[in-house]
Amino acid sequence: MDALEILSDLENCFPYFQPIISADEQRVIAYEVLGRYQSEGNIISLGPFFQDDQIPDEYKFEVDLLIVRKALEKALELEEDVSIFINRNAELLMYGHGEPFLQELLTFEKRGLRLQRIVLEISERKYQGDLNQFDHLLQYYRTYGIKIAIASIDSESPNFERIGQLDPNILKINLQALKSSATGMNFNDVLFSLSLLARKIGATLLFENIEMSYQLQFAWKNGGRYYQGYYLHPPSAEFIQRDLLKYRLKEKFHDFISYEKRKLEAVFNTAEYFQAKVQEMVFKNRKAGYEELFQALIKEMDQMAFRMYVCDGDGFQKSANIIKSKSGWSSQSEYIDKNWSWRPYFLENIIKMRHEQKGILSDLYCDIETGETIRTFSFPMNGNDYLFIDLSYQYLFEHDQLL
């Protein structure tokens, strides 16, 4: 992109606005400002201009400030509860120590635009400057009520420690990774960690680049409060009616909820099935040792399970691993006395089983040893013995409501 052409033709630089929709209200709650340029009748994105390392920061700042000024001028006509997301990489934000940009915002504040409506969508990628100064600038902006969003987090970019340091109001998750089956599982793992972090620091999840229905469903299922993407509405020069997507989203959410309820019902019924089955076999073999119990379980659950073992209430393994391979079932005595209390939710589930005297079917998770997606059924055998039965991916696949 020819920077000089753009700088000499600034009147043809202008903002586009992409709506951001909330899950709770199903209406527009914000717009992201995007730069556009009209050349020979074609409207093109200014993204490559701002991302070009060869273009001096002062050129970028001049164009950006013009886009922001035009966007905020138009934003004055919006309702008071609609926010404006403004993209800023670290270099651009630090230009002039951040003061020229702030002064522009303060000019609009005097005209009635509350700065609490401004969300700075920041990116630190490739930033070589002083992070302490950058952090101080963000804190300075916060004193004016400006909110901070971390931009375009994906499967390759999350730095959890750094996100925690920045303490953003919003984490913006890029759903482009969902298009690749190669990064799908890795992305799920990253997203799970991000959702825990967001909950801990009180941040909201915003999913962007939603281009298909399944991506919207993914965002809804994974705790996304805000959504953005071409599937909902493309960027445009004008604002849209706030409730334009309300009916469509209500229908979509109804479908998502119905599907999720069916899955939850299937999980509940499966847990009840295993509760009855395992309880009966444990009762019948209550006077027998672990080996006899495992043999009875194998006969009943050969096509369901691939690993069984017993732990005490502190997570120390009291039995060998009974594991299934291509050659059949075998025993792994080296697992005796290993401790599993460090695993997430282990002790929480022990206490729950102890109080309710009932088994638990786990969430889906990736098995450390096999790398496969599995579930585990845990069952309280007596005062301090707990039986764990790992269900195979093949079994879950054959009962796809469990996946």
The whole-number pLDDT of residue 89 equals 87
The model's pLDDT over 339-354, given as tens digits with 9 standing for 90+, comes to 999 998 899 999 999 9
Pairing of strands 204-208, 147-153: unpaired
Residue 235 has pLDDT above 80, yes or no: yes
Residue 158 pLDDT level (bands cut at 50, 70, 90): low
Residue 391 has pLDDT above 70, yes or no: yes
Instruction: Output phi, psi for 127, to 5 deg.
Output: -75, 130
Residue 193 has pLDDT above 90, yes or no: no
CB 62 within 8 A of CB 7: yes
pTM of the model: 0.88
Map tokens 């469990």 to a residue: 402
Question: Of 268, 221, 260, which is closest to residue 377 (Cα–Cα)?
Answer: 268
The whole-number pLDDT of residue 1 equals 65
Residue 254 pLDDT level (bands cut at 50, 70, 90): very high
The model's pLDDT over 31-62, given as tens digits with 9 standing for 90+, comes to 999 999 998 889 999 999 998 889 998 999 99
Residue 179 pLDDT level (bands cut at 50, 70, 90): low
The model's pLDDT over 301-321, given as tens digits with 9 standing for 90+, comes to 999 999 999 999 999 999 999
Residue 181 pLDDT level (bands cut at 50, 70, 90): low
Residue 178 has pLDDT above 90, yes or no: no
Q: Please tell me the least confidently modeled range out of 37-46, 95-104, 149-158, 288-297.
A: 149-158
Residue 206 CA to chain centroid, in angstroms? 8
* Domains of the chain, each with CATH number or no CATH: 3-231+244-258 (3.20.20.450), 273-402 (3.30.450.20)
Q: How far apart (Å, rounded) are the C-alpha atoms in residues 336 and 321?
A: 8
Share of the chain above pLDDT 70, in %: 97
The whole-number pLDDT of residue 157 equals 59
Residue 72 pLDDT level (bands cut at 50, 70, 90): very high
Amino acid at 371: G
The whole-number pLDDT of residue 185 equals 52
More confident residue, 323 or 128: 323
Mean pLDDT of the chain: 92
The whole-number pLDDT of residue 176 equals 83
CB 241 within 8 A of CB 21: no
